């Protein structure tokens, strides 16, 4: 990539969600060529879509050619109409063939789920938080407490390189059972009440009663409306990001299931980066490349298959290692942040070859249950 190219980032973005993609831009263009600026985003009417999360990017070449990019990492399968109109390329994680309006597909690039990473150390994060807040001081959609909390929160995450390091070795000679670790938030979204919480509950209980040494459960507060129902599986104090990462690496297997709005969650991206043997329920949204059962993931079609899947992976080390290698290979090809940026830069790849682009006629679907 031409190093004279400059990349400008919208300073009002939710950095808690954007760091993964900013990291990819830095690797692709060089840190000296990536900066925050409010100069190029004055036409982007974020106030009207403030509740949705995306990163706006403008790439300027030496010939003064501008390319406007939206990286939409929101849970919902909907497309933000105003952001779409502003953009030349609209990259989105949660594209759903039934719920995402196909008339948006002309500009759209399908990208995999990322996850929050630590991009800046403490003093650098403080610097960017204050300078970016000043840059977007006239943006009415900015909630200042949340704005600064995002920078603080990213500093509590782990750097991407720590996800990619070889997993720590446990002293299996002194252990009679394989170790399994899983923590998850106890959600109150309706889909999670009906599906996610129950699937995770089944995984936890099966591991507790099975042939493994299990650690983890649900993170919840006592005030949570479902706390009493899941009380014996809950813990109140969160693990640190480092403990979560270390213990997940040590875990023989991991479990993935879509969460809020049936989205691809951070866990899927994290598990692929760590090269884990993943058991997963079916995925509803598109991925840039298929995760293949038996190659880089183990899919189950119902809760009734969970117990046998856990038993299979814990007792078949060759199959487990095959899934680990397959997951890592998928990450390196599709999920690595620089690969994501390169995919976006290639532009839309024809998600729907027959669609037209009548922007003024767009109607956003609202059924995302």
pLDDT tens digits for range 206-228: 999 988 999 999 988 888 888 88
Q: pLDDT digits over 139-169, tens only?
A: 767 788 989 999 999 999 999 999 998 766 5
Task: Decide if 366 is inside a domain.
Answer: no
Q: How far apart are CA 89 and CA 106, in angstroms?
A: 9
pLDDT at residue 59 tops 70:
yes
One domain for residues 58 and 124: yes
For residue 56, what pLDDT is reported?
96
One domain for residues 183 and 96: no
Q: Report the DSSP pairing between strands 234-235 and 213-219.
A: parallel
Structure tokens at 83: 């952001």
The pLDDT-based confidence of 365 (bands split at 50, 70, 90) is: very low
- Residue 96's Cβ-count burial label (10 Å; 0-12, 13-18, 19+) is middle
Domain count, the chain: 2
One domain for residues 105 and 87: yes
Partners of residue 213 on adjacent β-strands: 179
- Residue 166's Cβ-count burial label (10 Å; 0-12, 13-18, 19+) is exposed
Structure tokens at 251: 């875990």
Torsion angle (degrees, nearest 10) of CA 321, 323, 329, 335: -130
Q: What is the pTM of this model?
A: 0.90
DSSP letter string over 32-57?
Answer: GGEEE-STT-TT--GGGGTTS-EEEE
Among 114, 69, 119, which Cα is nearest to 89's? 69
For residues 307-316, give the mean pLDDT.
95
Q: What is the CATH number of the domain that holds 198?
A: 3.40.50.2000
One domain for residues 47 and 138: yes
One domain for residues 351 and 282: no
One domain for residues 295 and 260: yes
Segments forming the whole domain that contains residue 292 = 163-336
One domain for residues 154 and 203: no
């Amino acid at each position: 990539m031409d190093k004279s190219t400059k990349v400008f980032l919208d300073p009002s973005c939710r950095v808690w969600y954007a760091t993964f993609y900013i990291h990819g831009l830095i690797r692709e263009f060089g840190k000296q060529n990536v900066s925050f600026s409010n100069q190029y985003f004055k036409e982007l009417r974020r106030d009207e879509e403030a509740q949705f999360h995306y990163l706006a990017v403008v790439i300027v070449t030496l010939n003064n050619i501008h390319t406007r990019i939206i990286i939409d990492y929101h849970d919902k399968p909907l497309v933000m109409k105003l952001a779409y109109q502003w953009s030349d390329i609209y990259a989105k994680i949660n594209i759903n063939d039934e719920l995402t309006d196909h008339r948006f597909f002309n500009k759209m690039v399908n990208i995999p789920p990322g996850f929050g990473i630590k991009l800046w150390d403490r003093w650098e994060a403080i610097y960017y938080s204050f300078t970016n807040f000043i840059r977007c001081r006239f943006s009415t959609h900015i909630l200042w407490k949340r704005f600064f909390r995002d920078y603080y929160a990213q500093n509590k995450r782990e750097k991407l390189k720590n996800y990619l390091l070889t997993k720590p070795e446990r002293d299996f000679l002194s252990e009679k059972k394989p170790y399994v670790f899983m923590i998850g938030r106890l959600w109150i979204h309706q889909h999670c009440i009906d599906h996610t919480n129950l699937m995770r509950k089944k995984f936890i209980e099966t591991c507790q009663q099975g042939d493994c040494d299990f650690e983890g459960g649900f993170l919840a507060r006592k005030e949570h409306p479902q706390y009493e129902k899941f009380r014996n599986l809950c813990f109140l104090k969160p693990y640190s990001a480092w403990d979560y990462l270390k213990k997940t690496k040590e875990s023989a297997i991991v479990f993935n299931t879509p969460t809020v709005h049936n989205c691809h969650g951070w866990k899927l991206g994290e598990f692929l980066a760590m090269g884990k043997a993943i058991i997963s329920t079916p995925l509803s949204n598109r991925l840039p490349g298929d995760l293949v059962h038996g190659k880089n993931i183990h899919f189950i079609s119902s809760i009734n298959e969970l117990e046998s899947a856990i038993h299979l992976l814990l007792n078949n080390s060759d199959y487990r290692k095959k899934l680990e290698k397959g997951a890592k290979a998928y990450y390196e090809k599709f999920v690595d942040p620089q690969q994501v940026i390169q995919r976006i830069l290639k532009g839309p790849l024809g998600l729907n070859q027959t669609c037209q682009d009548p922007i003024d006629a767009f109607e956003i679907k609202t059924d995302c249950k």
